Amino acid sequence: MNRPILLAVDDDINVLEAVVQDLRRQYGSTYRVVRAASGQAALDTLQQLKAREEAVALLLSDQRMPGMSGVEFLEKARSFYPHAKRVLLTAYADTEAAIQAINTARIHYYLTKPWDPPEEKLYPVLDDLLQDWNAGYQPKFDGIRVIGHRWSLKDHQLRSFLSRNHVPYRWLDAAASDDAQQLLKERSLDPEALPVVLFADGSALVDPEQEVLAARVGLRTQPAQDFYDMVVVGAGPAGLAAAVYGASEGLKTLVIEPDAPGGQAGSSSKIENYLGFPAGITGADLGRRAHMQCVRFGAEFLTQRAMSVRADGQYRFVSLADGREVSSHVVLLATGVQYRKLEIPGCLDLTGRGVYYGAALVEAAACKDEEVFIVGGANSAGQAALHFAKFAQKVTMLVRGSSLEASMSKYLIDEIEKTPNIVVEPNTQVIEALGNEHLEALKVRGPEGESCRPAGSLFVFIGAAPGTEWLPDSILRDDKGFVYSGMDLSTADPKTSAKFKVQWKQERPPFLLESSVPGVFVAGDVRHGSIKRAASAVGEGSIAVQFAHQYLASF
Give dist(CA 154, CA 500) in Å, integer: 42
DSSP assignment of 13-43: HHHHHHHHHHHHHHHTTTSEEEEESSHHHHH
Q: Do residues 84 and 56 touch, judged by C-beta distance below 8 A?
A: yes
pLDDT value at residue 265: 84
Give dist(CA 58, CA 532) in Å, integer: 35
Paired strand residues for 205? 197
The closest of 133, 55, 47, 54 to 87, measured between CA atoms, is: 133
> Could you read off the pLDDT tens digit of each residue along the chain, which spans 555 residues?
579 999 999 999 999 999 999 999 999 999 999 999 999 999 999 999 999 889 999 999 998 899 999 999 999 999 999 999 999 988 766 777 777 777 777 889 888 888 889 999 899 999 999 999 998 887 766 689 999 998 999 999 999 999 888 888 999 999 888 889 999 999 999 999 999 999 988 899 999 999 899 999 999 999 999 999 999 999 999 999 999 999 999 999 999 999 989 988 887 878 888 898 888 888 888 999 999 999 999 999 999 999 999 999 999 999 999 999 999 999 999 999 988 999 999 999 999 999 999 877 788 878 888 999 999 999 989 999 999 999 999 999 999 999 999 889 999 999 999 999 999 999 999 999 999 989 999 999 999 999 999 999 999 999 889 999 999 999 999 999 999 999 999 888 888 999 999 999 999 999 999 999 999 999 999 999 999 889 999 999 999 999 999 999 987
Give dist(CA 34, CA 54) in Å, integer: 12
The identity of residue 485, as a single letter, is S
The closest of 396, 458, 393, 392 to 431, measured between CA atoms, is: 458
Q: Do residues 380 and 268 touch, judged by C-beta distance below 8 A?
A: yes
Q: Is 316 helix (H, G, I), strand (E, B) or coil?
A: strand
Give dist(CA 265, CA 496) in Å, integer: 30
Give dist(CA 185, CA 476) in Å, integer: 55
The burial class, CB within 10 Å (0-12 / 13-18 / 19+), for 451 is: exposed
Q: Do residues 125 and 162 touch, judged by C-beta distance below 8 A?
A: no
Q: Which domains does the chain have, with CATH numbers?
A: 5-136 (3.40.50.2300), 144-216 (3.40.30.10), 227-337+466-553 (3.50.50.60), 355-464 (3.50.50.60)
pLDDT value at residue 219: 93
